[in-house]
Amino acid sequence: MQRPREPRALAPGSHGRVSVTTDRGSDQVAMADGSGIPTMSEPIQLVGMLLLFLIGLRLSAFFSGSETGFYRLSLPRLGIDAQSGDRQAARLLWFAHRPARFVATTLVGNNVANYLVTVAITMATLVLLGGGSEWAEVLMTLLVAPIVFLFGELLPKNVYYRAPLARMRGQILWFQAFYYLALPFSLPLVVLSRLIERLAGRRSRSQETLPGRGRFLQMISYGRHEGLLTSAQSTVATSVLAIATQPVTESMMPADRVLGLPDSATREEILEFARRFGTPVVALAEGTTLAKGQPRWTMYVRATELQVRSEPLSEIRHPLPVIRPSANKLEALALLHEYTAAA
């Protein structure tokens, strides 16, 4: 049997490795200096660095795109989907009500992604070019930077900007899992941001309690774009906002010009009055005030109820809602809507 050859020292610059030739021919195994433990070969190291780089690049794309898509989400659409039982929409709505937690999580995630990319580039440079030159690491970083910017920042942000709800809905579970993993690091950032807001005398709100006109118009536009509102509904909503601040007195009719009857009128008289003037609703005034030319309208009757209901007239009459003269038209519409729903 052929005895194994003696170990031979390698040339300087081989990082302390020695080569041993076995009895199987010319196969050589790289050995660590003095440890006797085989080191990983360069191809395996490069594959590992490539996988680490791709993981970091994917995380960078995920968190960068999520940050852009988060601010493009439609809160009305999320609210409707969450109320209909959509769990992904409910999770997104939870983060929408807590934007500081979402931003802190993306900040931690981007830092983790950048760290993985940096480690992969540095280790790959050491394997390929050795550790003797710092310029080699700088040059490798400059060469890889366009790739990271294109696939880790620009393209993901563009994709999430164009389809925020579709992308966020499909990946919210992954984001929520990372949120709980990164909570020990992101929670101090949230506390710090709130402390700074208190010291500065400002308080952030997750959503507007009373949205202004601009916010309402934006919500209407989103609703029409997402298919939640038809063209007619959008037109009505926009028109309501246009007259919202106008005083209700501009739409009031003088009491002596209202078509109606005294509260002592019979069922037949009310039906005849409704047919004659083509009105589905007949106002009723106190008889004494109507006789004096200053009617006080207090009740009304629907003609359809008179035809289909056999109860006494006193049970069919409805009291008129009372609106303050100082109210605006939007307040009046809201009051009438509540009154109609209760009736």
Q: What is the mean pLDDT of the chain?
A: 79
Integer CA distances (angstroms), 336 to 41, 244, 251, 320, in order: 80, 14, 14, 10
pLDDT in tens, 174-193: 999 999 999 999 999 888 88
Does the pLDDT of residue 77 top 70, yes or no?
yes
List Cβ<8 Å contacts ≥24 apart for 199-206.
204/99, 204/100, 206/96, 206/97, 206/98, 206/99
Q: What is the pLDDT of residue 7?
A: 46
pLDDT in tens, 236-253: 777 777 787 888 888 888
Q: What is the pLDDT of residue 204?
A: 53
Alpha helices in the chain (DSSP H): 42-70, 75-83, 87-96, 99-129, 134-149, 155-162, 164-181, 183-200, 213-225, 231-242, 267-277, 287-291, 303-308, 313-316, 329-342
Across the range 85-100, mean pLDDT stands at 91
Does the pLDDT of residue 270 top 60, yes or no?
yes
Rounded-to-integer distance, Cα 297 and Cα 59, Å: 69
CB 171, CB 62: distance < 8 Å: yes
